[in-house]
Amino acid sequence: MISRMRIFLTHIIPSAAYAAHLREGVPNRHSPLGINAADSPQPGKSRRAQTGEDYERNTRCPRPIRLGAHALYIPDIRHTPNRFYPLLCILIFTFSKTIQMFIDTHTHLFTEVFDTDRKEMMKRASVLCSALVLPNIDEDSITPMLHMADTWPELCFPTLGLHPSSVFDDYQEVLKRMENLLETRTWYGIGETGLDLYWDKSTLPQQQEALRIQCQWAKSMDLPIILHSRDANDETLEIIQQEQDGRLKGVFHCFSGDEAQAKAIYDLGFCIGIGGVVTYPKTHLRELLRTLGPERVVLETDSPYLPPVPYRGKRNESAYITLVAEACALAWGMQIKDVGRITSKTARKLFNLPETQPA
Ligand SMILES: [Zn+2]
């Protein structure tokens, strides 16, 4: 219960304040996300004007909503019709069993920075997320990742791959050893793989070869591939276009490209992963999301990296996914629970995650 209270105070209140603030169209000096009122879906128009009578009806009082298998009473805390409403929200949120409405499709919770408080961090994540996809980085991270998958089997879903920044001279032997592991247990994806020209351009040929090998794994195992692409969107797209024979599916994680690249990704049948960057004041992502719509988007945190506003410079964790979802909700002009429902459905299908059992 303590961790629920803490999440409410540190996550829900800031995002609710931000949403209410945008709804009012107030200048953004105190916005916790630091985003301008002009960033709301239609500048100058209230959200009521945009969503019509349904909006009016939905904001009156908390209603039971069904989130997958969980029938829960959760108010939409972005709307505060009277002064007792926040108190009601706190009570309902604190005593409700779970509000697992999100899937974090990219989170490195096995890294050492969580060693001191991993259980508490997982408690916070488990309140909000019904599944956490853990992408592997290199050989060393396999054991801690699998330990997490075995400790929280209903929450943690491991994937296997070699990150482009971990491609060194011995990458072929490393990939051989990893390939032997593919048959040893259930994996939910291949990756994190891809291309990274930000840190090291000199290893591009090796990175490309490693990516192609992992594309083969993904195709032969019928698993989605998780693509990291930093300063290399076009180069990564080129390889996926060459490798796509109808069997390849996956996600461009932490997508930060332009509209043409997003369209090319969609043409390939891939999804895009949206993380904390969507909350940054200067990003173009909110504008782009308005154009793209929610159907092919999955949410992620990339913890412990890329924390959303207002946690920039700190350790990121999966519970902060509410802030990513809230920014998406505002971009799409929809309620946060609908963002959770739509993106989780896409993620569950892409990674073939088991349906959650009733709590
Ligand atoms: Zn990552």
Walk along the chain (359 residues) and give the pLDDT tens digit of each residue. 655 666 666 555 555 544 444 343 333 333 333 333 333 333 333 333 333 333 323 333 233 333 333 333 344 444 444 556 556 555 555 555 447 899 999 999 999 999 999 999 999 999 899 999 999 999 999 999 999 999 999 999 999 999 999 999 999 999 999 999 999 999 999 999 999 999 889 999 999 999 999 999 999 999 999 999 999 999 999 999 999 999 999 999 999 999 999 999 999 999 999 999 999 999 999 999 999 999 999 999 999 999 999 999 999 999 999 999 999 999 999 999 899 999 999 999 999 999 875 44
Report CA(47)–ligand 1 centroid distance (Å). 35
pLDDT in tens, 250-260: 999 999 999 99
Q: For residue 162, how far is its CA from the centre of ligand 1 (angstroms)?
A: 11
- Ligand 1 centroid to 26 CA: how many Å? 36
SS3 of residue 92 by DSSP: helix
Cα 195 to averaged position of ligand 1 atoms, centre (Å) = 12
Q: What distances in angstroms separate CA 62 from CA 51, 75, 152, 359, one per listed residue?
A: 18, 4, 32, 20
Query: 107 CA distance to ligand 1 centroid (A)?
Result: 7
Rounded to the nearest angstrom, the distance between the alpha carbon of 244 and the centre of ligand 1 is 23
How far does the centroid of ligand 1 lie from the alpha carbon of residue 113, in Å? Answer: 14
Direct distance between the N- and C-terminal alpha carbons of the chain, in angstroms, rounded to an integer? 16
Find the 30 Cα to ligand 1 centroid distance in Å.
31
pLDDT of residue 357: 56
Report the separation in Å between the CA atom of 94 and the middle of ligand 1, taken as the mean of its atom positions.
31
CA of 14 to the centre of ligand 1 (A): 26
> Which amino acid makes up residue 202?
S
> Ligand 1 centroid vs 316 CA: distance in angstroms?
12
175 CA to centre of ligand 1 in angstroms? 18
Distance (Å) from CA 129 to ligand 1 centroid: 18
Task: Identify the pLDDT of residue 220.
Answer: 97
What SS3 state is found at 256?
coil
Q: What is the residue-wise DSSP string for 170-237?
A: THHHHHHHHHHHTTTS--S-EEEEEEETTT-STTHHHHHHHHHHHHHHHHHHT--EEEEEES-HHHHH
In this prediction, residue 99 carries a pLDDT of 76
Q: What is the pLDDT of residue 51?
A: 35
CA of 90 to the centre of ligand 1 (A): 33
Q: Which domains does the chain have, with CATH numbers?
A: 2-95 (no CATH), 102-350 (3.20.20.140)
| CA distance linking residue 252 with residue 257, whole number of Å | 10
pLDDT of residue 199: 87
CA of 192 to the centre of ligand 1 (A): 6
- What separation in Å is there between the alpha carbon of 226 and the centre of ligand 1? 9
